[in-house]
Homo-oligomer: A and B are copies of this chain.
C-alpha cells in the first residue's frame, strides 16, 4: 500500500535551486546559481563573541522555553533598526521568525485557503512560489518593468481577481535586481487602501546598496495596516542563523501569525535571536554593511563588465544593489537546456524559467548571483559562460 500524501503536494517537486546545488559537487564549477553571501562576509569570530556574551549575561532565559512572540530585546532593537526604512513599529508589532521563508509560511497559514488568489511579480523568487504553491494558492502574475511592478496592472489584477495577498520584493528584487521607484511605492500604498488585500513586502536586500539613494519601504506609506514588512538578517549577517522578522501593525493579524507560529515551531531559537540583538546593539553593523557592500559592488561591476563582452543581443539589468543580475537572451536561445552543458564547462546559473508562475516559458532568461564569487572567479566563470553560449550560436 502506498502512503497517500496531502493534496498540497500534487505537482510539487522541491526547490530546483537546492537540487541544482547538489549537482555542483565538483569544486571546479564556478557557481553563480545560489543566493549566498560571500563566505568572507561571515564573521565566525564576531558571532562567537556575541554568543558568549549573551549566554553569559542571559543564559537561563536563552536556554529555557521562550515566548512565541520573540526574544523581547530583539523585538525592541529590530523595531529601532527598521526606522531607517521609514517603518515605525512598536516592539510588540515585530515578530522574529526562523528566516524569511517562515515569514511567508506563517502569513500564508494565517490567510490562505486552497484556491485563494495571490498576486506576485513576474518574475519572482522561486522559493516563495514553492511556499505559496504548498498553500494551494492560485498565483496570478503581474508584469514588471525597469521600475519594478507596474501599479496600473497591479490594480487591474486586484479588481479582476480579488486576491487575498500580494507578494512584492521592492528593493533589488530577486531575481531581477530591480528596485521599485519611490513614486510607485507611494502609488501602491494608495491602491492597497482601496481594497481588502494584504501585502507582503519582502525586503532582505535593501541594505546592500552600491549606488543611488536609499528608499523608504512601501510600509512607510501604509495607512491601513495591511502591509507586512519582512526583513531578514540572512544577507547582511548570516543566513545559517535563520533570523528574520515580520512587522505587522494589525493586531488581529499579528495574533493569527503568533498562533500559527506556536503550532509551527513554538518559537525561534533564542540564542540566534539574542546574537542578532547583540549585533544590532553593538553599533558595528553599519560598518560591516559598508565593508561588504563595497566588496559586493565591485563584484557586481566585474560581472557587468564581463557581460559587456557577451554578444550584443544579451540584455542584463543594472541594479543599484543586491546580489543578483538578470539576463535576457534572444527568444530562441534556451538557457534551461544549456545548464547541463554549462556545469560540464565549469559554470552554473539558475535558468530564469523557474521564476515564473507559468511553467515551460521564458527559457531565454537566467539569474546570476555575484555575491559569492571572487573577482577572479567572476572573470573566469563568465568567460566560460560566454564561450559556451557563443559556441551554441549566440550572436
Contacts and interface: CB of A to CB of B under 8 A. Distances in A.
A113 B258 contact: no
Interface residues of A, number: 85
Contacts of A250: 3
A238 B66 CA distance: 11
Interface stretch (A46-54, A77-85, A285-293, A356-364): A46-54
Given A110-B9, A269-B242, A270-B240, A264 B101 contact: yes
Contact of A44 (B56, B196, B272): B56
Contacts of A282: none
Contacts of A61: 240
Given A48-B51, A60-B44, A3 B196 contact: yes
A280 interface: no
A240 B54 CA distance: 13
Contacts of A9: 110, 256, 259
Interface in A58-79: 59-68
Given A6-B110, A9-B110, A65-B34, A242 B268 contact: yes
Contact of A265 (B15, B37, B265): B265
A62 to B, nearest CB: 5
A306 B348 CA distance: 68
B263 A196 contact: no
A357 to B, nearest CB: 16
Contacts of A39: 60, 64
Contacts of A394: none
Given A4-B196, A9-B110, A102-B264, A63 B238 contact: yes
B48 A56 contact: yes
Given A5-B110, A6-B111, A47 B65 contact: no
Given A4-B164, A18-B262, A105-B265, A64 B52 contact: no
Contact of A8 (B14, B34, B102, B109): B109
Interface stretch (A127-135, A143-151, A179-187, A211-219): A127-135
A174 to B, nearest CB: 14
A180 B36 CA distance: 47
A164 B6 CA distance: 10
A265 B99 contact: yes
A62 B46 CA distance: 13
A241 B271 contact: yes
Contacts of A259: 9, 12-15, 130, 134
A395 interface: no
A226 B63 CA distance: 33
Contact of A253 (B3, B66, B242, B264): B3
Interface in A256-304: 256, 258-260, 262-272
A55 B48 contact: yes
Interface in A100-122: 101-102, 104-105, 109-113, 116
Contacts of A25: none
Contact of A51 (B52, B109, B264, B265): B52
A2 B251 CA distance: 12
A243 B269 CA distance: 9
A160 interface: no
Given A48-B51, A51-B55, 18 more contacts: A3-B252, A8-B113, A35-B65, A36-B64, A44-B60, A51-B51, A63-B239, A63-B240, A98-B265, A98-B268, A101-B265, A101-B266, A102-B264, A105-B265, A241-B270, A242-B265, A242-B267, A271-B271
12 contacts: A1-B196, A3-B253, A13-B259, A15-B259, A47-B55, A64-B239, A64-B240, A98-B98, A240-B270, A241-B269, A242-B267, A243-B269
